[in-house]
Structure 1
Amino acid sequence: MHYIMTFVWAFILVHMINFVLMSLGGGNELHLMTANVMAVVFAVLALIVAALIPNDPIPTDHH
């Protein structure tokens, strides 16, 4: 479920960014295929970063 929601949020966010940037760029047409590819790349990078970050508790020194 974690992977599915990562892809869903990646698609939503990248398509919103695509829409805003294309609107600001003078009314150019939306390139949905480019946004889809960028969403997949963004989701994969987010999953890689999440896998690399350690989830262990930080050890504390008790003196």
Structure 2
Amino acid sequence: MRFFWPLFWAFLISCVVSYVLISMAGNTFEIGSTLAAALVITLAVYVLGEGVLKGESDQ
């Protein structure tokens, strides 16, 4: 479950941000770019949470 929730929240936040910014520009909403942004955010959370931040707290 710890891998599901970051993906879930990244998807929801990406949808909201994409919808607002695309609506302001007057373009149509595309789910592909939203999914790509969600995957990038999720990977960043995993890398920071499992590697970088955990390693600094051990020292």
Interval containing the TM-score (normalised by the shorter chain)? 0.7 to 0.9
How many residue pairs align between the two structures? 56
Deviation string 1:16-38 (CA, Å, 9 cap, x unpaired) is 0000001111x200111111011
Deviation at 1:47, TM superposition (A): 1.0
Larger Rg, first or second structure (1 or 2): 1
Q: Which runs of 5+ in 1 are unaligned?
A: 59-63
Q: CA RMSD in A?
A: 1.4
Could you list the runs of 4 or more consecutive aligned residues of structure 1 that deviate by over 2 angstroms after TM superposition? none
How far apart are the structure 1 equivalents of 2:53 and 2:34? Answer: 27
Q: 2:48 matched to which residue of 1?
A: 49
Structure 1 or 2: more helix by fraction: 2
- 2:23 counterpart residue number: 23
| Structure 2 residue runs without a partner (length 5+) | none
Q: TM-score, with normalisation over the residues of structure 2?
A: 0.83
- TM-score (norm. length: structure 1): 0.79
Structure 2 CA distance for aligned equivalents of residues 46 and 17 of structure 1: 18
Residue 3 of structure 2: SS of its match in structure 1? helix
Q: 1:5-55 CA distances to partner (integer Å, 9 max, x unpaired)? A: 000000000010000001111x20011111101101110111101112134
Instruction: Look up the equivalent residue of 2:42 and give its one-letter code.
Output: A
